[in-house]
């Protein structure tokens, strides 16, 4: 069996066509693309308000093989169908249920095909409602091997009641990974912040998706000598940076 990278190349054509379909008829504008880290360990962190469209944008624009932590529900037909149903109902009310029923065969095909290939390219299934420890440990292993891990923050939708509806409060997972790798292995992993805006607009509606990428941040620059305060300081810095990138993109 080949490496994850070999497996990824073998279905790259499919992903290219699929991501274009998922983003139809939107266009994407990216600024700061030169900040992407092209080799070695890297964590890419950003807001997550556009469900599968966020994933599609990153697959199209990050210039290297990337690894996602993914909601384990997408790995089964039943789980993915439930997620799609929720998405359609959120945007279209009762009419969303009719659309879901009509497009059922298409969704089933996509789930069967995509879930069969997701494991081959190293996507990490996680229980978004359960413990994050297992996914953190596995991500750390990927980073030690020089890979790029995507860690989007949020549940893949807009949260109207949050202070910033498009940037949900960041969790500590990314900061914990960076802390552990620096303390245990002396590995200073660049964490690349980016913001996504426009992916929250439902499929089929024309819009411009704005991707704003900033310079990488490092845990060592927020080191206090104590774990809890270092992790919190880095978490807060990442959230502030992504929020700032998003606000900046709104002026384009």
**Could you tell me the two tokens for 166?**
């498009």
Per DSSP, 220 falls in state G
Residue 184 and residue 176: Cα distance in Å, rounded? 12
81 vs 41, which has greater pLDDT?
41
Confidence of residue 1 (pLDDT cuts 50, 70, 90): very low
Q: Residue 17's pLDDT is what?
A: 78
Digit-coded pLDDT (tens) for 106-148: 556 655 555 555 555 556 666 555 557 878 888 999 999 999 9
User: Domain 4-249 class?
Assistant: alpha beta
Residue 2: other Cβ atoms inside 10 A: 10
What does pTM read for this prediction?
0.82
181 vs 83, which has greater pLDDT?
181
Digit-coded pLDDT (tens) for 6-61: 766 766 776 777 788 889 999 999 999 999 999 999 999 999 999 889 988 998 99
Residue 138 and residue 68: Cα distance in Å, rounded? 11
- Which of 17-26, 123-132, 157-166, 240-249 holds the top average pLDDT? 240-249
Q: Residue 68's pLDDT is what?
A: 78
Q: Residue 115's pLDDT is what?
A: 53
Report yes or no: 188 and 220 within 8 Å, Cβ to Cβ.
yes
SS3 90: helix
């Amino acid at each position: 069996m080949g490496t994850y990278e070999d497996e990824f190349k073998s279905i790259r054509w499919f992903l290219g066509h699929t991501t274009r379909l998922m983003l139809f008829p939107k266009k994407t504008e990216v600024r700061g693309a030169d900040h992407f880290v092209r080799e070695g360990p890297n964590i890419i962190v950003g807001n997550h308000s556009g469900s599968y469209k966020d994933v599609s944008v990153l697959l199209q624009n990050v210039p290297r093989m990337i690894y996602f932590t993914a909601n384990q529900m997408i790995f089964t037909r039943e789980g993915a169908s439930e997620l799609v149903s929720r998405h359609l109902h959120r945007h279209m009310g009762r009419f969303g249920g009719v659309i879901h029923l009509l497009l059922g065969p298409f969704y089933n095909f996509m789930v069967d095909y995509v879930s069969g290939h997701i494991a081959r390219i190293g996507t990490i299934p996680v229980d978004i409602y359960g413990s994050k420890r297992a996914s953190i440990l596995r991500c750390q292993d990927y980073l030690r091997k020089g890979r790029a891990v995507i860690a989007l923050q949020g549940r893949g939708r807009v949260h109207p009641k949050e202070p910033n509806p498009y940037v949900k409060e960041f969790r500590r997972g990314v900061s914990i990974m960076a802390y552990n790798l620096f303390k245990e292995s002396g590995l200073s992993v660049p964490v690349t912040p980016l913001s996504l805006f426009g992916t929250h607009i439902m499929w089929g509606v024309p819009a411009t998706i704005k991707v704003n990428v900033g310079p990488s941040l490092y845990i060592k620059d927020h080191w206090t000598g104590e774990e809890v305060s270092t992790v919190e300081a880095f978490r807060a810095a990442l959230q502030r940076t992504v929020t700032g990138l998003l606000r900046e993109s709104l002026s384009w």
